[in-house]
């Protein structure tokens, strides 16, 4: 089994470059599916309060018998709890639901610039508290645009360790990635295969045929070689194993370029625009 390389966050902590995402995994199936991912070799699990499945992730961790120091667990703040006192209570629930004393990474899930009078800075300062008290080893953001990052830099002295954003060949999201890189923030790519939308693209199937890999593998490998952290999601052990097998081959410059040229700009986005997204769950 190939070893997943670690990258180093700007706070000095290591993070595995490949993780397993549990977005849209039903709560009743989460323990089983996460357990299968752990069996396949994944040690980096990405969940969120809004996914409603932190309890199942915790069950899988306990059932796995894997030492806690071998695991990297991420969760994210529910959009409904950006106000500091609510964020504190929500983080307490995250730890309780996961059955952990500490998460490796905790994120603001969305900036919500049209909510809370546009104040995501006080939310960020609350996450800084979690890192200072040791209950979050690292803290970061998700779906933050360059302007949102600039505001955090202006009003606080703690730089997010990561920014988890939509990135895939149809939406390379270069402005956000460049802003991350300039600030020393690692980019995490969600929806890395555009919800499967890129897998039949002729350019990707051509690369896959030339290197003897699946379209999903070459797309995920493209992310890895660009230096991003990636979270494929699957509910079948066979696909989990396929998505894990990314570190025993490389794409050459022409292959990388052919995939990058598929970018459609804003038209390629599959999820909400962070400048407008204001969803708060019931």
φ/ψ bin of 111: left (φ > 0), alpha (ψ from -120 to 50), beta (otherwise): alpha
Closest CA to 15 of 58, 52, 46, 41: 46
Please, are residues 223 and 192 in contact by the beta-carbon 8 Å criterion?
A: yes
Distance CA 37, CA 35 (A): 5
> Token match 């699957």: residue?
234
DSSP at 18 = B
φ/ψ bin of 12: left (φ > 0), alpha (ψ from -120 to 50), beta (otherwise): left
Helical spans, DSSP H, in the chain: 27-40, 54-64, 84-98, 121-132, 146-155, 174-183, 202-211, 215-225, 237-244, 253-260
Among candidate residues 51, 116, 170, 279, the one labeled active-site is: 51
Distance CA 37, CA 266 (A): 32
For the chain, the residue count is 282
For the chain, the distance separating the N- and C-terminal CA atoms, rounded to the nearest angstrom, is 42
φ/ψ bin of 185: left (φ > 0), alpha (ψ from -120 to 50), beta (otherwise): beta
Distance CA 71, CA 74 (A): 10
Distance CA 211, CA 251 (A): 8
Residue 279 a catalytic site member: no
Residues serving a catalytic function are 51
């Amino acid at each position: 089994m190939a070893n997943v390389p670690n990258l180093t966050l700007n706070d000095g902590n290591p993070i595995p470059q490949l993780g397993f995402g549990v977005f849209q995994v039903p709560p009743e199936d989460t323990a089983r599916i996460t357990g299968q991912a752990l069996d396949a070799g994944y040690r980096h699990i990405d969940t969120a309060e809004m996914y409603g499945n932190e309890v199942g992730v915790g069950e899988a961790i306990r059932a796995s018998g894997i030492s806690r120091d071998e695991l990297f667990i991420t969760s994210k703040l529910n959009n409904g709890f950006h106000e500091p006192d609510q964020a504190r209570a929500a983080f307490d629930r995250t730890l309780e639901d996961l059955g952990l004393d500490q998460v490796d990474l905790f994120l603001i899930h969305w900036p919500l610039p049209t909510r809370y009078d546009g104040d995501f800075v006080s939310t960020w300062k609350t996450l800084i508290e979690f890192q200072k008290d040791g209950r979050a080893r690292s803290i970061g953001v998700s779906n933050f645009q360059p302007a949102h990052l600039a505001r955090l830099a202006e009003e606080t002295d703690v730089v997010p360790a990561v920014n988890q954003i939509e990135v895939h060949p149809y939406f390379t999201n270069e402005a956000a990635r460049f802003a991350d890189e300039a600030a020393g923030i690692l980019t995490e790519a969600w929806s890395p295969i555009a919800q499967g939308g890129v897998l039949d693209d002729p350019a990707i199937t051509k690369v896959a045929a030339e290197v003897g890999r699946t379209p999903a593998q070459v797309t995920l490998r493209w992310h890895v070689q660009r230096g991003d952290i990636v979270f494929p999601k699957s509910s079948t052990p066979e696909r989990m194993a396929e998505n894990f097998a990314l570190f025993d081959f490389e794409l050459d410059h022409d292959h990388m370029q052919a995939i990058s040229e598929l970018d459609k700009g804003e038209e390629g986005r599959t999820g909400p625009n962070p400048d407008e997204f204001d969803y708060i769950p019931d």
